[in-house]
């Protein structure tokens, strides 16, 4: 397994910079692994865009179309969207009526972490599959639970130990604090813009009402009382 560059090629100076979570190559396959923390309209479009960018970058480095690696995208969704009561959903391009699948085909997997958490969280470890244990370890919120899920599995024990090291690393904790603060600032800016837009809309509506009342020769003091506009604001509308 070889870790690849996670920055996608930019073809034009106006292109938005895109960066995947993890890209690795294994033999003749490229695996793009994405963590979708929350659902929002457009999250699957974003996943598709990453897939297309990776495909485009592979054709840049290849001299023919036969030796191009197959792309597999694995999305870990921290929400249930497809509602099929499955742990894994596999998506392929296929013909609508005959279900013929193209041989050179990108494959997309969506792993429903929320479903796995709900179904498996309180089960005894020995009753869980290796895949379910790995997913639960990925979602572990406490050290005790992570250690319990890792059990005696050598690979998962190494992951658990690495998580413990990262949890005590002040630099890593600082990075996540900075990420949370950046997200908080972003949400504040969006909310501020939304509220400003609402206020501007209300003010515009008040002005239109005041104009209509002026056209009907309604007393300015009464207009001010009904619209909460000042006498000066109403006078300026004449």
Paired tokens of 155: 């690979």
| pLDDT band of 118, cuts 50, 70, 90 | very high
Tell me if 22 sits within 8 A of 32, measured CB to CB. yes
The span from the first CA to the last CA of the chain, in angstroms, equals 74
d(CA 170, CA 173): 5
Q: How many CA atoms lie within 13 A of 216 on its CB side?
A: 9
pLDDT of residue 66: 73
pLDDT above 90 (res 34): yes
Tell me if 129 sits within 8 A of 68, measured CB to CB. no
Residue 201, classed as helix, strand or coil, is: helix
**Residue 115: exposure state from Cβ atoms within 10 A (0-12, 13-18, ≥19):** buried
| pLDDT band of 62, cuts 50, 70, 90 | low
pLDDT above 80 (res 104): no
| pLDDT band of 75, cuts 50, 70, 90 | very high
């Amino acid at each position: 397994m070889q870790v690849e560059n996670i920055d996608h090629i930019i073809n034009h100076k106006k292109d938005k910079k895109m960066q995947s979570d993890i890209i690795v190559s294994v033999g003749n396959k490229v695996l793009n692994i994405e963590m979708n923390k929350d659902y929002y309209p457009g999250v699957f479009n974003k996943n598709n865009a990453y897939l297309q960018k990776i495909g485009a970058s592979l054709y840049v480095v290849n001299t023919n179309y036969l030796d191009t690696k197959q792309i597999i995208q694995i999305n870990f969704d921290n929400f249930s969207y497809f509602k099929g009561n499955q742990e894994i959903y596999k998506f392929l391009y296929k013909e609508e009526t005959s279900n013929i699948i193209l041989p050179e085909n990108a494959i997309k997997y969506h792993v429903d972490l929320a479903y796995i958490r709900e179904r498996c969280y309180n089960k005894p470890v020995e009753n869980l599959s290796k895949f379910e244990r790995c997913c639960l370890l990925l979602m572990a919120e406490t050290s005790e639970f992570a250690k319990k899920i890792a059990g005696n599995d050598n690979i998962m024990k190494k992951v658990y130990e690495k998580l413990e090291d990262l949890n005590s690393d002040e630099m890593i904790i600082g990075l996540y604090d900075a990420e949370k603060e950046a997200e908080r600032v972003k949400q504040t800016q969006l909310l501020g813009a939304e509220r400003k837009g609402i206020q501007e809309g209300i003010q515009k509506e008040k002005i239109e009402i005041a104009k209509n009342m002026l056209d009907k020769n309604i007393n300015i003091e009464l207009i001010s009382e009904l619209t909460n506009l000042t006498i000066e604001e109403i006078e300026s509308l004449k």
